[in-house]
Structure 1
Amino acid sequence: MIQVINIPAFADNYIWLITNEERKFGVIVDPGDAEPVLAELAQRQIEPLALLITHHHRDHVGGIAKLLEVYPHLMVYGPAHETIPHRTHPLQDGDTVELAELKASFQVLDVSGHTAGHIAYYGEESLFCGDTIFGCGCGRVFDGSLDQLHAALQRLAKLPASTLVYCAHEYTIDNIGFAKWVEPDNQDLDLRLEECWQLREAGRATVPFSLGNEFITNPFLRTHIPEVIAKAEKVAGRELQTQAEIFATLRIWKDTEYD
């Protein structure tokens, strides 16, 4: 069984340190900043084996060079179709990352959309998804496309509801605000907001969360729900024919009116 340690960085980023019960070795996901990672490794006396990178944005790759100065043996896994500094293992959809020292493995999923070559790592009942899906939300589209991001979310929605989602930002409470615009009568959102405030007031993260919780609260995974469809059509001012159109309407609405 893996164990995952949360390393906060910048204003709202999370870097993930994957280890196991022995806590002798570890793998780092999306080290945007090396300093907090180095401090955590030293404090816990964990030997890092590799870096798992989801996409090319600076707040996910900015710490790679410094970590390699201290640990030059590190393997750097990252998307094959993006420019990742010091990458040693280019990955694409369907590849597998074997972590023998942790007795764990992860399947690589193409989840392009936020960026054109974004990947996620799925295994051990866990999903490390970078900026593709957040608590009650999803990433903006930068050099990918809305259609790609919708397809990525639909793919993630096919994973088991028990999957723990490790995204890269603490956005849940803010995202719930937008989700309430979409579904003001969704009582699951009210319950989740209360739970999230309790976590934050206790100094804890709202991440990870179960994928099942997203199915009942994340509007970007609920484009088949009549209330969500009705709201999207009201915003668009016309009938929408596909879930992809509904998704795009919600994402653009959030970009232009809420954020």
Structure 2
Amino acid sequence: MLSVTPIPALSDNYIWLLRQDTSQEVCVVDPGEALPVIEFLERESLSLSTILITHHHPDHTDGLGELIRRYTPRVIGPNNPSIEGIDERVGDGDEIRVMGRLFEVFETPGHTLDHISYFTPGIPPLLFCGDTLFCAGCGRLFEGTPEQMHKALTRFAALPEETFVFAAHEYTLANLRFANEADPENPDVKHALTECEKARALDRPTLPSTIGRELKINPYLRVNTESVRTAASKQGSIDDDLATFATLREWKNRF
């Protein structure tokens, strides 16, 4: 069985660690710093065999150099030469086998142009989406366009509802507070906010989420609903789903 464990890093990052219960070898996703990973591996007597990278931002890659020097893992990531240390560059539709599971690579530009995500359709399905999809939110558009991000999120929305969503940041409370404004008639958002406030008060992660949950609480996946459109119409254009998404994303930037 494949287990996934969060390793907290920096101020609000999660470095996800994948492990098969029959092996001491593990994979980590987006190591923004090395020390938390090294401490975890040494404490649990584990060996790092694989690293997955979603995009080039330093809070997802700064631990690469030290981890490569110490463990010489296989490093898989986007086709971006500026990321040093990747030895297997992948793109949309590529398939890789990691920890005994077959993963499909999705190109998901928007947050950055090189952003990719990793999906495995096993039992249960798992999605490692970096800074594209968050619990109740999505990534800021630093390099890409609203159209690119909306397309990526639409692709995620079509995945099985039981898919676990492993985002890279603990942004949930801030996202839910915005969602409560952007989707004010949604009782699921209010319930999620209460539950996540309790979790954070106990210093527990609010992640992973699921696609099914995100379809209920994430305003960026609900741009075709009357509640979201009515709220967004007070901020900008809602001519179609894409315009509503762009309005929401810009509103969140100011929120």
Q: Distance in 2 between matches of 1:83 and 1:135?
A: 29
What root-mean-square deviation, in Å, do the aligned CA atoms of Structure 1 and Structure 2 show?
Answer: 1.1
1:75 matched to which residue of 2? 74
Q: How many residues align?
A: 252
TM superposition shift of 1:47 = 1.1
Query: 1 CA distance for matches of 2:213 and 2:23?
Result: 29
SS class of match (2:235)? helix
**What does the per-residue CA deviation read over 1:159-214, in whole Å, with 9 as the maximum and x for residues that have no partner?**
01100000000010111110011122211111101111221122210010111111
Partner Cα distance (1:82, 1:93) in 2: 17
Q: Which amino acid aligns with 1:242?
A: D
In 2, Cα distance between equivalents of 1:156 and 1:83: 27
- Give every structure 1 segment of 4 or more consecutive aligned residues whose post-TM-superposition deviation is greater than 2 Å: none
The question of 1:186 aligning with 2:190 is answered no
CA contact (8 A) 1:56 1:82 kept: no
Q: Distance between the aligned counterparts of 1:23 and 1:213, measured in 2?
A: 31
Match of 1:59 in 2: 59
Q: In the alignment, does 2:122 pair up with 1:122?
A: no
Aligned partner of 2:243 in structure 1 is 245
1 CA distance for matches of 2:81 and 2:149? 16
**In 2, Cα distance between equivalents of 1:53 and 1:185:** 37
Q: Provide the C-alpha distance between the structure 2 equivalents of 1:212 and 1:229, rounded to a whole number of angstroms.
A: 21
Q: Counterpart of 1:199?
A: 199
- For structure 1, which runs of at least 5 residues remain unmatched after alignment? none
CA distance in 2, matches of 1:34, 1:162: 31
Deviation of 1:81 after TM superposition, in Å, equals 4.0
Q: Deviations over 1:96-141 (max 9, x none)?
A: 1112xx3212110111100001000001311000000111000000
Query: How big is the shift at 1:226?
Result: 1.1
Could you say which residue in structure 2 is the equivalent of 1:225? 225
TM-score norm. by structure 1 comes to 0.94
Residues 11, 216 of structure 1: alpha-carbon distance in 2 compared, 3 angstrom cutoff: same
1:13 aligns with 2:10: no
Deviation at 1:23, TM superposition (A): 4.6
Match of 1:96 in 2: 95
Q: Distance in 2 between matches of 1:164 and 1:70?
A: 31
Q: Is the 8 A contact 2:185 2:227 kept in 1?
A: no
CA contact (8 A) 1:55 1:82 kept: no
Deviations 1:53-100 (A, max 9, x none): 00000000000000011112x11100114632211000000001112x
Structure-2 residue corresponding to 1:209: 209
Conservation of the 8 A alpha-carbon contact between 2:17 and 2:29: yes
1-side partners of 2:190 and 2:232: how far apart? 21
Stretches of structure 2 that go unaligned for 5 or more consecutive residues are none
* Cα separation, 2, equivalents of 1:145 and 1:183: 23
SS at structure 2 position matched to 1:200: helix
The 3-state SS of whatever aligns with 1:207 is coil
Alpha-carbon shift at residue 223 of structure 1 (Å): 0.5
Report the residue type matching 1:115 in the other structure.
T
Distance 1:148 1:244 in 2: 10
SS of the aligned residue for 1:235 comes to coil
CA distance in 2, matches of 1:234, 1:227: 12
* Counterparts in 2 of 1:130 and 1:63: CA distance versus 1, 3 Å: same
